[in-house]
Amino acid sequence: MSGSLTIALDAMGGDNAPSIVVKGADMARRRFPNVNFLMFGDEQRILPLMKRRKRLRAITEITHTDDVIANDTKVSDALRKGKQSSMQLAINAVREDLAAGVVSAGNTGALMAMAKLALRTMPGIDRPAIAAIFPTIRGESVMLDLGANVECDAENLVQFALMGDVFARTVLGTVSPSCGLLNVGSEEMKGHAEIQQAAAYLRQMGATLNFHGFVEGDDIAAGTTDVIVADGFTGNIALKTTEGTARLIKEFLSDAFHSSLSSRLGYVLARRGLRKMRDRIDPRRYNGAMFLGLTGIAVKSHGGTDAFGFANAIGVAVDMAANGFNDKITKGLEAFDDFQPGPLEVAAS
């Protein structure tokens, strides 16, 4: 990438904001020397954090606002009363072409609603989706929707599949990515009406999209397909369940290594390999969920992440902007325009 790239940051979003935002931006600055920032939030709290960060300060324009969207703010309230919030102002910077993308660790629902209103959806997409990259036994897969749309119809699911396909091609570099629809069984007759109908559409696409069929929860980590499509409710449960299970095993593993002197010594010897493993599944490494289907780039960081995780979320926005992801996805979607679905035969549940 050449030239400079501006990223807008909601300095007040997240459990440990603005600290993790400022520290994360400073980490990202070292990784991406041509990036600069627009930071929105409480100047009184941001400036002290900048004191020892002269280089970050030099590439950051701070816009003060007192308004913050809290984690428990209802979406409707956020939209009505949050026009001067750090989140809304950061999004507006993308709409006004002052920034190439926005990153926030704040309230997901509010961020999605504001981004959708301010940035609008791409032609051919009715609803944007939240996508993230998952580590798998075979490498990496992308899953969407992770919570933007609690209820989805068949057409929404098909659009998610198309966006996921383009994402895997352009960002992950996968040739002819396979796409699976998350279900409670891989047999054709499984699942509810929406998922049945979506599968019927996707099966008709033939060469246009490499539809694998239904996949189950354990196929996510197995890497059975490059793209996993789900409604936002199911996708969110799968995402959070993955996080919880990983944390449980980490806890049990720590117990195992503390169970005896011999185990402690074993840990010391295996430490280097174990660290590599921990890095492979470090949730901070995979921090930064993308809002796909909007005309601007918006990345949601985990609310509880630290500076390293927030820096990675900035990295996702930088990658998407530098690779012209939104142009590619728009072009990719145009390729599907030729496809005309035929009459459907939907199997009964």
**Positions that interact with a copy of itself (CB under 8 A):** 72, 74, 109, 135-137, 147, 150-151, 182, 184-185, 187, 189, 191-192, 216-222, 230, 232-234, 236-249, 251-253, 255-260, 262-263, 265-274, 276-277, 280-281, 349
Looking at residue 263, its amino acid is S
User: Among residues 128, 121, 96, 124, which one has the least CA distance to residue 8?
Assistant: 96
Nearer to a copy of itself, 58 or 150 (CB): 150
Q: How many CA atoms lie within 13 A of 194 on its CB side?
A: 13
The residue (of 1 and 249) whose beta carbon lies closer to a copy of itself is 249
Q: How far is the CB of 11 from a copy of itself (least distance, A)?
A: 23
Measured CA to CA, the distance from residue 340 to residue 321 in angstroms comes to 31
* Min separation Cβ 256 and a copy of itself, Å: 4
Of residues 33 and 273, the one with the C-beta less far from a copy of itself? 273
**Least distance to a copy of itself from the beta carbon of 260, Å?**
6
> Which residue lies nearer to a copy of itself by CB, 22 or 105?
105
As measured in angstroms, the least distance from the Cβ of 311 to a copy of itself is 23
- Torsion angle of C-alpha atoms 202, 203, 205, 210, degrees rounded to 10: 80
Residue with smaller CB distance to a copy of itself, 29 or 116? 116
Q: Which is nearer to a copy of itself, 65 or 149 (CB)?
A: 149
Report the nearest approach of a copy of itself to the CB of residue 145 (Å): 11
Contact 257, 266 (CB under 8 A): yes
Nearest CB to a copy of itself, comparing residues 49 and 161: 161
3-state secondary structure of 259: coil
Helix, strand or coil, per DSSP, at residue 27: helix
> Scanning the structure block, which residue is given the tokens 């969920």?
289
Nearest approach in angstroms of CB 138 to a copy of itself is 10
Find, among 99, 110, 130, 112, the residue nearest to 68 by Cα.
110
Fill in the amino acid letter for 7.
I
Residue with tokens 């142009």: 327
Crossing angle of the two packed helices 19-31 and 307-322, in degrees rounded to 10: 50
Which helix (DSSP H) or strand (DSSP E) does residue 1 occupy? none
Measured from the CB atom, is 48 or 185 closer to a copy of itself? Answer: 185
CB of 242 or CB of 326, closer to a copy of itself = 242
Alpha helices (H) along the chain = 19-31, 43-50, 54-58, 75-81, 86-95, 108-119, 154-170, 193-204, 217-222, 232-257, 261-281, 307-322, 325-335
Edge-to-edge strands, sheet with 5-10? 60-64, 35-41, 5-10, 101-104, 297-300, 289-292, 129-135, 140-144, 227-229, 178-182, 210-215
User: Do you find a cis peptide bond into 231, omega within 30 degrees of 0?
Assistant: no
Contacts of 174 (CB under 8 A, 6+ apart): 168, 226
